[in-house]
Amino acid sequence: MDKQAFIEKIAAYAVKYAKKYGNKFPSVVIAQSCIESGYGTSELAKKAQNIVGMKHKGARVSIALPEVYYKDAAEQNADGSYRTVKNDGWYKFKNWEECIEGYYQFISISHYKKVWEADSPEGQIAALKAATYWTSLDLDKRLINLINTENLKRFDKIDTPLISKSVDFMGKKSAQRTEKICKFTPHHMAGNMDPVNCAIYHRDKVEASANYYIGNDGTIVAGVPEDRRAYTSSSKENDQQAITVEVANCSKEPDWKISDSAYRSLVLLCAYVCDKYGFIPKYTGDKNGSITLHKMFKPTLCPGPYLEELIVNKYFEEDVKKAMKNTNITEIEHVWTSGDTLESVAKKYNTTVEKIALDNWYPRERQIIVIR
């Protein structure tokens, strides 16, 4: 089995059991499996089906076999030297899938509480290191490097049943996202392309990409990971803050219509994004709204007259609001008046200047700012 085949095999197990146990970042255990087992070639991987270097701690892992596998363990000291633990005990499993489930059982104790509280793969890795899951001094750096080079975060983002497939962009046609996600920008394909084919075309042929692709039948395909900005809107500033989507058309110009199935998926996807990142869908006619259009940044018909009419007339945002699960998000519009400063407005609404700046484009230049 080559490395990529190993990754795909373990990823399927990791996503399955991360969802079952409520862990947000299966990329971490995928990377651990690759490094700890040498992509399935280590003694433990072959003889004990243990691919994550899991030492035996009694009945903590209920899915493990009752027998213990014994072998010497090499552990690293704080000064970089090594010591050998003779005949150390390790969990043994029927197969690699049960090992991955066992891993989540193993870390489901208070000692690993911060692993579950982490808000990023890097945070989980730091918490595992602090909890001394391993003794290696540089394993954390190697795990993070592998997650980035193999784009393992693509397995973290499919956290909604809406997404049925993904296309690995391998870090192409994207850049690290450095701003908070607070916008949603729908585009049209200007044609009826299969969403997977459109994503692959973007990745391999043109300087374009999107976070998601929606087909004429409503299928949603994940593209550029959410933690990276796509090249979609002809605006770096917008794409840094927006989840961008390419939608297939069911008719050609002049209307560029989209199907009812595609529209429904677009609404549900936008509702999911708004719920996840905590903002309300709102079209304002300019780049300051949370729903923005490609044509705001470049002379283009995108997203096409049909979809644009649904957005401009507020039908789209109302449909999204109905589909949202988080109905407790509130917004206050503050009208900028003489004497106001960002500091005084922040104090008035019990928030921070930083939070206002995150939720608004160039707040000092605006007449109305949104307080969330």
Average pLDDT, integer, range 208-224:
93
Indicate if 143 and 188 belong to the same structural domain.
no
Average pLDDT, integer, range 198-209:
95
Q: What is the pLDDT of residue 77?
A: 92
> What tokens does 214 get?
């929606």
First to last CA, the chain: 50
Average pLDDT, integer, range 4-12:
90
234 and 202 in contact (C-beta within 8 Å)? no
Indicate if 311 and 183 belong to the same structural domain.
yes
CA distance 141 to 146: 9
CATH of the domain at 359: 3.10.350
Q: What is the pLDDT of residue 156?
A: 79
Cβ-proximal residues to 134 (8 Å cutoff; 6+ apart), any chain? 53, 128
Q: What is the pLDDT of residue 357?
A: 61
Question: DSSP string of 22-51?
Answer: T-S-THHHHHHHHHHHTTTTSHHHHHT---
Within 10 A of 120 (CB to CB), how many other CB atoms are there? 15
CA distance 322 to 276: 15
Mark residue 87 as left, alpha or beta (left: phi above 0; alpha: psi -120 to 50; beta: remaining): left
Give the domain range for residue 223.
163-323
238 and 290 in contact (C-beta within 8 Å)? no
Query: In Å, how far are 99, 184, 221, 303, 367 from 247, measured between CA atoms?
Result: 40, 13, 10, 9, 33
Quote the crossing angle between the two packed helices 315-323 and 305-312, to the nearest 10°. 70
- Among the residue ranges 154-158, 181-185, 311-315, 327-331, the one predicted with the least confidence is 327-331
Cβ-proximal residues to 104 (8 Å cutoff; 6+ apart), any chain? 17, 18, 20, 21, 23, 29
CA distance 325 to 331: 16
Indicate if 243 and 307 belong to the same structural domain.
yes
Indicate if 131 and 205 belong to the same structural domain.
no
Indicate if 264 and 365 belong to the same structural domain.
no
CATH of the domain at 45: 1.10.530.10
Which of 106, 124, 155 terminates a domain? The answer is 155
Within 10 A of 92 (CB to CB), how many other CB atoms are there? 22
Which of 155, 176, 207 terminates a domain? The answer is 155
CA trace torsion 82, 85, 90, 96 (10° rounding) = 30
Mark residue 145 as left, alpha or beta (left: phi above 0; alpha: psi -120 to 50; beta: remaining): alpha
Indicate if 88 and 236 belong to the same structural domain.
no
Indicate if 217 and 279 belong to the same structural domain.
yes
Indicate if 47 and 122 belong to the same structural domain.
yes
Indicate if 171 and 306 belong to the same structural domain.
yes
Q: What is the pLDDT of residue 51?
A: 97
Indicate if 14 and 135 belong to the same structural domain.
yes
CATH of the domain at 281: 3.40.80.10
CA distance 310 to 48: 58
> What tokens does 310 get?
């649904």
Q: What is the DSSP letter of 329?
A: -
Indicate if 318 and 174 belong to the same structural domain.
yes
**Helical H segments across 107-235, by residue range:** 113-117, 121-130, 139-149, 195-205
Q: What is the pLDDT of residue 161?
A: 59
Cis peptide before 303 (omega within 30 of 0): yes
Sign, CA dihedral 56-57-60-66, equals: positive
CA distance 148 to 172: 12
Instruction: Decide if pLDDT at 207 tops 70.
Output: yes
Rounded to the nearest integer, the mean pLDDT of the chain is 88
Which of 306, 323, 340 terminates a domain? The answer is 323
Indicate if 64 and 170 belong to the same structural domain.
no
- Provide the pLDDT confidence category of residue 155 given band limits of 50, 70 and 90: confident
> What tokens does 369 get?
């700012």
Specify which residues 242 forms β-bridges with: 183
CA distance 53 to 355: 42
CA distance 31 to 142: 9
Residue, of 251 and 275, whose pLDDT is higher? 251
Q: What is the pLDDT of residue 331?
A: 59
Smallest Cα–Cα separation from 107: which of 56, 64, 60? 60
Instruction: Decide if pLDDT at 3 tops 50.
Output: yes
Average pLDDT, integer, range 19-23:
83
Domain count along the chain:
3
